[in-house]
Structure 1
Amino acid sequence: MSVTQIDIDEEALERAMAVAGVRTKKDAVNLALRFYAEQQERAACLTRHFERAQHWEAVERAERLHRAEKDAR
């Protein structure tokens, strides 16, 4: 772990700390960084799966199934 000095939006930091239920700025920043990294990794994974599914025509089948289910209601 390293010590880094940065300017942080205090209002945003206070809101994040309240929502996350953490008591220190360090915990809030580390939590936010982990959350952001995990979110981006999940998005990249979904993109890869979506791109692969296009080759299987799975997307079109899923859309047809979804439309058929909506029409049946």
Structure 2
Amino acid sequence: MATNLALDDKLITQAQKVGHHKTKKEAVTAALKDYIAHKKQMEVLGLFGTIDFDKGYDYKKARKR
């Protein structure tokens, strides 16, 4: 899918250099993947303290199934 975006050329050039990307597309794709991974990690961190955990759960027994 072709998409036209007005991106800062200096930022793209920096991303290419830092990430050792050959093309602008590679740099943008890598940046988007990193962004998505970071957001997913933040969602998981937001769950801390909100999930109840059963102290009697035997995870070793569950592995043997």
Asked if Structure 1 and Structure 2 have the same fold, meaning a TM-score greater than 0.5 normalized by the shorter chain, the answer is yes
SS in 1 for 2:50: helix
Give the drift of 1:32.
Answer: 0.3
**Structure 1 unmatched runs, 5+:** 57-73
TM score, norm. by length of structure 2: 0.73
TM score, norm. by length of structure 1: 0.66
Matched positions, count: 53
1:51 maps to which residue?
49
**Structure 2 unmatched runs, 5+:** 54-65
Give the drift of 1:30.
Answer: 0.4
Provide the alpha-carbon RMSD of the alignment: 1.5
Give the drift of 1:5.
Answer: 0.3
Identity %: 26
Give the drift of 1:51.
Answer: 3.1
Please state which structure has a larger fraction of its residues in helix. 1
